[in-house]
Structure formats: structure tokens, C-alpha cells
Amino acid sequence: MIEPRHLLLPALACVASFSFAQADLEGKLKKLEEQRTAIEEQQTRLTSRVDSVKLAIIRRDLERIGLPKLEAGEELVVHPGHILVYSEKHEQPKWTAHIASPDLIKGNLARIDSFLPDPLVKTGTAVTADYWYSGYDRGHMVPSADMRWNFDALQGTYYYSNISPQVAELNRETWADLEDWVRRYVNFSKRRVFVATGPVLRDGLPTMQKADRKNEVSIPEYFWKVIADLDGDNPKAIGFVMRNAKQDGPPVSYAVTVDSVETLSGLDFFPALDDAVEARIETMREIKDWYGEGDPNHGEVEPLRAPLPKGMFNSVQAKYHIGKTATVCGTVVSSRKTAKAQAIYLNFDRTHPNQDFYATIWSYNGPNFSYDPETWLVNKKICVTGKLTIFDDIPRISINNEKEVMLYEEAIR
């Protein structure tokens, strides 16, 4: 049956209108996508310009107050995010300097892991053949993680001018923890810090004896790091020194004054500062000042320095005596009582969940104490005696009564 003409016309008009609307939507989408692309390109260009200015400020401030004193004949090697002096004799940096800024918090660039000779070092640097299968890690002096907010700055940390041979257990463990310790301060305080890092270089150091080596790369015995918060009216600084070997303690165990690093390294830090300010900050070693608001590690203290008297052990050494009866000493930095078991946990030297050792007082042993151990023992240096067991990879001792707890000062008499 053929529809009357007057009925077909409205239908045809609807189809035409719908087709026009579809074409109009596709046109709108194309136009919006073009606008978005233009905005993204503009944002990329603007970010690049902002980063360029930020890097220029870093270089300016490093050169103004952040570099160690130059010795005669030394030349600065300037990269986008850091500055260094290279030791041709030892084929590694004599020192590096950079600023760890709050920008590192938003950095999400991936590791590059492409190590290259530094084209800015006139004498040439170490190369991959010097390190490959040498038994040593290629240890960054300027951490790549501090520069993941800018690609050029990140790339600069992978030049061999920024690399020194480190024992793997140091590079991947305690040294890495120290780098994280610095970043945590920047993260939680929202403040930037000046950081200088390097090996302790001297005549007579052994070199990496690889048959296919191209250079004689010295193997340092020690590494150091100096950190300074110099912005504002209350500047402060602290140093760290670690042996090039596996270290058991947390980073705070290796804290020293900047003066001590100067004595060990022969360098002069912050020579551009006012003499009085320089003298004051270089004698500081206040660990508690380096925890920003909200830092979960706030309150940690350094373990008691080993060896302890009378065959006692600190909280870090406890893991070597699992299954034995021993006396472990340290500072109770926090405590907590579990809701279900009503057990009291005393965390030594580091707060939960980062503690290296803790003591447990089960609820049924509560009456064996003349004081409330959950509150009275906090912030006290104590020694506990008992059989060392391990739970969730953390050593612990269960305390049955207050005779198994002694104040440290009394225990060492």
C-alpha cells in the first residue's frame, strides 16, 4: 500500500533533522577535542617554562649558599638539578650538591636506568664496563627519586659523574632509607633542603679490578651526606656517615655533626653563610628537629650504641638472638594496648609499625606490676630480659613481671 504524499513529508523532515543533528554532534565533538589538544599543548609548554625557572632558582641558590668550598683547580659541573666536582683520580664525584624541594612530592617520572658517561666532564668519566659485574652497585650520590618531577634533572642523575661504587646491602637498604628519611622531611614539612653527598676519597683506596675495565674506579670505605634547611630565621643542619658495608641500624644511628663530616672529608661546607650561622648549624645533631608534622616516624630515637655493657643488646641486635634468653635495651618511644587481648606492646626506639623490637605484657601478667607499664615506661630507657621470639618478622620478648624490667641506668651499674 502506498502512503499518501501528505503523510510522507513530515517523516522525511524528521529523518533529515535527525541526520543534521548527528552531523552537528560529531562536529561539536571534533571541535572540542581540538580545543582540548590545544590546551594540553599549552599546558605542556607552560609546565616546561615553570620547571625551567624552578631549576634556575635551584642553580642560583646552590651557587649562592649550597656548595662546599672549591679547591684550587677544581671545576664545577653544572647539571639541570645538581652541581658536582668530579675526581678524575678516583673516577667518581668528589661531592655532589642538590636541593630536595617539595616538587619531588608530585614527581612521578619512572626510573631511567640508562647510565651514561658525563659529556660535561672534560677528562671523561667512568663507563658501564667499569661497573658491569663488578660486585658493586652503581650508587647515586644525588638520588634519582629527588628529581622525578623533571625529566632533564632526572636524566642528569644517571651520568657516571654522579655514581660511586657501593656495596649492594648499603645502597639498597640503609643508604636508601636515609634518602627516604630526607624526602619524608621535605614531604611532611613542605620545606626544601640543601643536600651535599659524596664518598670519602683518599690515596691508597682499592680499585675495582675487572679485566675489561676502562678506568681505575676507587672503592670508598665511607660515604657521607649533609642536609641543611637554610630558609627562614632558624636554619639547621645535620650530617650522616656510613661505612661502605651492610649497616644494621636505622639512618638516625649514623647521624653526626657537619663538623664531623668536614673533619672526615676535608671539605668546608656552607662557606658563604655568615660565620656565626655556619658555626652554629655545623655543631647541630638534633634528630628530633627533622620530622615534619604528621610524619609517622616522629618520635623515633637512635638505638643505644653497641656494644652495650654486660653482654646486653640493643633493639637492632635483637634479631641475631632469636630462640635465646637475652637482655635487650632501648628507649620505649610508644606503647599500645590491643582491644581484643588487652596485651600491652612496648615499642623500642622506633614507633609502630617500624619498630625493630618490642616487648609484650599479656593481660594475665598485669597484676605482676606495681605500676601501669603502658604509661610509666614510655620515654624511659629500659632493659627487658626473656626469651627472644619473632612474630611478623619482628623480634619480641614477653615480660612476665616487673623484675624482668630494669631502667637502663640501673642495669649497667
Grid coordinates 641486635 are at which residue? 317
Report pLDDT for 46: 84
Please tell me the class of the 309-411 domain.
Answer: mainly beta
Amino acid identity of residue 393, one-letter, is D
| Alpha-carbon span 76 to 391, nearest angstrom | 51
Which residue among 79, 82, 98, 140 is the active-site one? Answer: 140
318 phi/psi in degrees, rounded to 5: -55, -35
Which residues are paired to 225 by β-bridges?
197, 240
| 79 is annotated as an active-site residue | no
Q: Where in the chain is the domain with CATH 2.40.50.140?
A: 309-411
* pLDDT for the residue 9: 55
Residue 379, pLDDT score = 96
Please list the residue range(s) of the chain that carry CATH number 3.40.570.10: 62-290
Average pLDDT by consecutive 10-residue portion of the chain (413 residues)? 55 54 83 92 87 94 97 96 98 98 90 94 97 97 96 97 98 97 96 98 96 96 98 96 96 97 98 96 96 91 94 96 97 92 94 93 94 96 97 95 95 91
Do the beta carbons of residue 96 and residue 140 sit within 8 Å?
no
What's the pTM? Answer: 0.88
CATH number of 62-290: 3.40.570.10
pLDDT of residue 8: 54
